[in-house]
């Protein structure tokens, strides 16, 4: 090709940035434009990781280095399907990679799950992370709360609910989040897992962090600390499982302290109904027993828990994109090694996918690197046969967005917003304070 390969990446979270990273390090001369519906990059690193996780947020430094490369441009505040569509992108780019991730809550089919006071964990995470498209206030009125699920997100939600607002004030939480948490009357947070401790999905680090708060007593209910043959096999053959189980066993037998708030971990308790008529007044669970293979079955023993709010943390779900095939069962884009497949299972020329919308919302942030490598390897293998962009100049898409009146944010604009948030934090002795309003974010970005 006599000119650089022009590639659009839709979604500027880790998956999209990793794809750009691999492209810029390849032997192919490529120019990459990252399109993001939010005014800021980084996806769930910015809007899905709990604010008291500075080590995980350290990945931002590596992602920013990719955005700073001369071959990479950032177009924030541009929503695919609204501001720009697939046919538009094909005018300007030889290939398009979709990496829009998963940010919606997976549903849970039990009676009462839609009652007022029953929430999706992803919505709560978006609130405390200052997402611009969610309400500024959150109804924190419950003294006792249930969290359904035993993955990292469930523990994040439980930890943020249980901690005092002043403990989180050193982080980047916006003022509205601090005020909301400060007014919370919560005393007890109950986390429920359907299976046993050896089948928990959180990491050892996430588990240990629960016990770091001087105001939160972590209580593991010993009745759920049981193991079957499959559990013992996992403990013997997986160091991470061994560490998790050891920690839980130690906590289950220790004396309960006197910290003012309590975070309870319950295993082998399956939620079967959210109780109430006009709002949540309780949760009913059925005690489970392990079946030898790591699965469980109900025992017919039910317990009603006095809670006034329920948060389901049973997984994220991707959203269907305009003009792109979608498997509504798995919540993913059908693909073959990252090549998007049409309804006849034939690769769509020049259209690719990577990240959670490609493989589902499983694994940690670093796992998306493998996804990106597979997808970009396919794209580069197809380079000589890709459909050529009609208007490949770097200015063409800028003119297109400007003509449509899209207030897009550039690399420089994100730099201004980043510096502004850091300055807001510095004035209060904090690393950063997030700007929440989309209007304010774009205003600061555009000077």
Determine the Cα–Cα distance for residues 123 and 129; give it in Å rounded to an integer: 10
pLDDT of residue 1: 65
- Per-domain boundaries in the chain: 5-103+318-408, 105-316
Cβ(308)–Cβ(85) below 8 Å: no
Q: Which positions ≥6 away from 405 have C-beta within 8 Å?
A: none
pLDDT of residue 53: 82
445: DSSP letter = H
Confirm or reject CATH 1.10.8.50 for domain 5-103+318-408, answering yes or no. Answer: no
Neighbours of 387 (CB within 10 A): 12
Given the structure tokens 């079955």, which residue do they identify?
297
Determine the Cα–Cα distance for residues 314 and 320; give it in Å rounded to an integer: 19
| Mean pLDDT computed over every residue of the chain | 95
> Residue 406 burial (CB < 10 Å; 0-12/13-18/19+)?
middle
CA distances from 45 to 20, 42, 152, 320, 365 (A): 17, 5, 14, 21, 8
User: What are the tens digits of pLDDT across the range 125-137?
Assistant: 999 999 999 999 9
pLDDT of residue 304: 98
Mean pLDDT by 10 residues, the chain (447 residues): 92 97 96 98 92 80 95 98 98 98 91 97 96 95 97 96 96 94 98 97 93 97 96 97 98 95 98 98 98 96 98 93 94 97 96 95 78 97 96 97 97 97 95 95 95
Given the structure tokens 């549903």, which residue do they identify?
107
Determine the Cα–Cα distance for residues 258 and 217; give it in Å rounded to an integer: 7
Determine the Cα–Cα distance for residues 205 and 195; give it in Å rounded to an integer: 20
Determine the Cα–Cα distance for residues 259 and 218; give it in Å rounded to an integer: 9
pLDDT of residue 434: 95
Pairing of strands 104-105, 316-317: antiparallel
Determine the Cα–Cα distance for residues 340 and 163; give it in Å rounded to an integer: 43
* H or E stretch at 58: none
CA distances from 247 to 198, 211, 289 (A): 11, 11, 21
Confirm or reject CATH 1.10.3720.10 for domain 105-316, answering yes or no. Answer: no
pLDDT of residue 217: 98
User: What are the tens digits of pLDDT across the range 305-345?
Assistant: 999 999 999 989 899 999 999 999 899 999 999 999 999 99
The alpha carbon of residue 168 and the mean position of all alpha carbons in its chain are separated, in whole angstroms, by 20
CA distances from 415 to 72, 254, 337, 339 (A): 14, 49, 34, 33
CA distances from 59 to 35, 202, 256 (A): 20, 19, 36
Cβ(405)–Cβ(381) below 8 Å: no
């Amino acid at each position: 090709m006599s000119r650089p390969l022009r590639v659009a990446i839709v979604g500027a979270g880790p998956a999209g940035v990793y794809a750009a990273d691999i492209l810029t390090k390849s032997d192919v001369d490529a120019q990459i434009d990252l399109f993001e519906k939010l005014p800021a990059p980084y996806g769930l690193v910015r809007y899905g990781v709990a604010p008291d996780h500075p080590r995980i947020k350290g990945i931002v430094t590596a992602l920013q280095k990719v955005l700073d490369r001369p071959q990479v441009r950032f177009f924030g505040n541009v929503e695919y399907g609204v501001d720009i569509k697939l046919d538009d992108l094909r005018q300007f780019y030889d290939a398009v990679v979709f990496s829009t991730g998963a940010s919606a809550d997976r549903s849970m089919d039990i009676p009462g799950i839609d009652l007022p006071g029953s929430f999706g964990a992803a919505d709560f995470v978006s609130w405390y992370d200052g997402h611009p498209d969610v309400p500024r206030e959150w109804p924190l009125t419950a003294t006792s709360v249930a969290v359904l699920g035993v993955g990292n997100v469930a523990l994040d939600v439980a930890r943020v609910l249980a901690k005092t607002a002043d403990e989180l004030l050193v982080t980047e939480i916006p003022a509205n989040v601090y005020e909301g948490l400060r007014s919370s009357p919560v005393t007890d947070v109950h986390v429920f897992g359907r299976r046993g401790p050896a089948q928990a999905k959180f990491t050892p680090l996430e588990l240990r962090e629960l016990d770091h708060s001087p105001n939160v007593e972590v209580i593991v209910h010993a009745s759920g600390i049981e193991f079957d043959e499959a559990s013992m096999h996992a403990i013997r053959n997986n160091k991470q499982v061994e560490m998790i189980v050891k920690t839980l066993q130690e906590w289950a037998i220790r004396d309960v302290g006197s910290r003012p708030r309590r975070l309870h971990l319950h295993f082998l308790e399956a939620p079967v109904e959210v109780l109430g008529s006009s709002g949540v007044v309780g949760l009913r669970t059925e005690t489970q027993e392990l079946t030898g293979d790591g699965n469980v079955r109900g025992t017919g023993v039910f317990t009603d828990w006095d809670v006034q709010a329920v948060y389901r943390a049973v997984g994220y779900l991707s959203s269907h994109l305009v003009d792109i095939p979608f498997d509504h069962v798995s919540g993913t884009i059908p693909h073959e090694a990252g090549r998007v497949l049409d309804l006849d299972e034939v690769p769509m020329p020049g259209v690719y996918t990577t990240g959670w919308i490609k493989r589902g919302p499983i694994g940690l942030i670093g796992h998306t690197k493998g996804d990106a490598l597979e997808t970009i390897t396919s794209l580069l293998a197809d380079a000589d046969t890709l459909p050529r962009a009609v208007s490949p100049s770097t200015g063409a898409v800028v003119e297109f967005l400007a003509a449509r009146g899209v207030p897009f944010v550039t690399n420089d604009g994100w730099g201004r917003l980043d510096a502004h948030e850091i300055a807001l934090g510095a004035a209060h002795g904090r690393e950063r304070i997030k700007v929440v309003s989309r209007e304010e974010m774009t205003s600061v970005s555009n000077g």
